[in-house]
Structure 1
Amino acid sequence: MSVEKKVSMDGKTLTIAIKGRFDFSSHQDFRNVYEGVYPKPEMVVVDLKETTYMDSSALGMLLLLRDHAGGDKAYIRVVNSSSDVRKILAISNFDKLFDIE
């Protein structure tokens, strides 16, 4: 598992790519990626293209990211999720909290 970040040239968008399993073992790496960005970006994109597995702790990590980014005012897109991951997000009603594509 790895977590990679990319900040846009204008600093307004942070992209976080998760490769492999998105579970509790990635908690600290995931947190370090977004907490280390200053100033806070206007938008965060979580790219799950190479995510093979996601558990309930990953859902909790997404909620912590949302809180850090501004709660209800945060703009977070979850992109490139597999059909299995998309089902998990839908069952958890995360489509109400995140822009899922």
Structure 2
Amino acid sequence: MIQSHLNQDTQELTISIGERFDYSIHKAFRDAYRDVKTPRTNIAINLSSTKYIDSSALGMLLIAKEHAENINGVVTLVRPSETALRILKLANFDQLFKVV
């Protein structure tokens, strides 16, 4: 399950991912950010509830990063769970993304 919220004041889109971040939510994930085209809009992906991340989810993060960079924004991975952080570090995504 995905929830998203665009804060017009800060130009930040927050996307919250549920327990599983896998291919089954790829359309909902893409739909959450694809219409964001305002320059310098940043995307915060909240992974605090995420217990499972598969390789397709890692690919989806890279595509979201590319989208954000095309509008001069950045993607930040917010409060990843212990499990999510371990997976991100194994894939060296902590080197590609800001993790807070």
Q: Where do 5+ consecutive residues of structure 2 fail to align?
A: none
- Please report how far the alpha carbon of residue 19 of structure 1 lies from its aligned counterpart in structure 2 after TM superposition: 1.0
Match of 1:60 in 2: 59
Report how many aligned residue pairs link the two structures: 99
Give the Cα–Cα distance (whole angstroms) in 2 for the partners of residues 74 and 91 of structure 1. Answer: 25
Which residue type is aligned with residue 20 of structure 2? Answer: R
Match of 1:47 in 2: 46
Q: Where do 5+ consecutive residues of structure 1 fail to align?
A: none
Contact 2:51–2:83 (Cα < 8 Å) also in 1: no
**TM-score, normalized by length of structure 2?**
0.88
**TM-score, normalized by length of structure 1?**
0.87
Contact 1:21–1:53 (Cα < 8 Å) also in 2: yes
- Please report how far the alpha carbon of residue 11 of structure 1 lies from its aligned counterpart in structure 2 after TM superposition: 5.4
Say which SS state the counterpart of residue 51 (structure 1) adopts: coil
Match of 1:88 in 2: 87
Match of 2:77 in 1: 78
Alignment RMSD: 1.7
Residues 37 and 74 from structure 1, CA distance in 2 versus in 1: closer, same or farther, beyond 3 angstroms?
closer
Residues 4 and 52 from structure 1, CA distance in 2 versus in 1: closer, same or farther, beyond 3 angstroms?
same
| Consecutive aligned runs of 4 or more in structure 1 exceeding 3 Å deviation | none
Higher strand share: 1
Q: Percent identity?
A: 37
